[in-house]
Each structure stands twice: as structure tokens, then as C-alpha cells.
Amino acid sequence: MMKIVLTLFLFLCVEMGYGKEKNEIGTLCDIDTINKLEIIHYPKYISTNVAMSAEQLMLRYTYKFEVNDVQETPFRDEIIKMLNVDYFECKCGNNDVRWGIRIVSEKNKVCNLYFDAFGTCGKVNDMKVCFKNNSIMKWVKNRIPLFVQYDS
């Protein structure tokens, strides 16, 4: 029931004008020149008393995946495609953040993405957003199954 309510709220937030114009992470974060990628995760099967913030996630994450030279990895094209996610600025409340992604470009431009266990809403840098077709979680499930092994 909670998933239905959350999905309905997200739909209304995006479709009825609470969200602003559509943006793309690839443009904001210079992902074509990405140098370093870090993905952290706090599993949804671990309960918390209150919704976890981005700061708490940084202190309490369970899993971390890091690629130090994305340009040289054989997964470069996959990573760039995975990070091309559209987002909408949203006036949503605080989310229970379970995923964090740090993107560092070759020009040392840093982008921080955070989102909930469903990949629907979170933050890009310090802006509250909702994501459209978040392909990041799908890529992680396929390439790093340990991250989500017990979450299903």
C-alpha cells in the first residue's frame, strides 16, 4: 500500500507542475569527461528509526564501489549511459536516502547524487529532485549484485 501511495505522490509531483523543467545529470556533471565514480549503498532491509539523510548515508553506508579511472575501464560507455538520468526539481519532503553517487570529472568538478531505495527521489548536489527512468540501480543490480543481493 505504501508503494502505491509513494508512486501516486511521485506521479502527481511530476505531472501536476510541482516539478520544474527536466534536466539531465550528464549535462550537470560533465559525465563525458568523468574521471572517478563512487557508489555507496545502505540496504533497505536494514531499518532505521527516521529517514536517513545524505550526511547519515556518508557515515553509515554498508557497501562502496569505486572506479578511479573511468576513462580507462572497459565499462566506460556503460557507466556514461547509466548516468544519463533525467531529473526534475521537486518540492518533496525528506527522503530515506539509501544510495549515494559521487562523480568527479577530469576538471575536478564534483557532483553528488542521492536517492531513496526505489531510485525515485533524492538530491542532486543540494537540490531536491525526482528522477525519471533511473537506470543507475538497474546497472548496479546487473554489474554489482552484492549491493542488492538481500534487498529483494
What is the helix (H) or strand (E) element at residue 89, kind and residue range?
Answer: strand 86-89
pTM: 0.80
Query: Percentage of the chain surpassing pLDDT 70?
Result: 85
pLDDT value at position 21? 58
Cβ contact 108:102 at 8 Å: no
Query: Which pLDDT tens digit goes with each residue over 15-34?
Result: 444 445 568 888 888 888 99
Structural domain spans, the chain:
18-144
Nearest C-alpha neighbor of 137 from the set 92, 112, 110, 100:
100
Identify the segments of the chain with pLDDT beneath 70: 1-22, 152
Give the per-residue pLDDT at 90.
Answer: 86
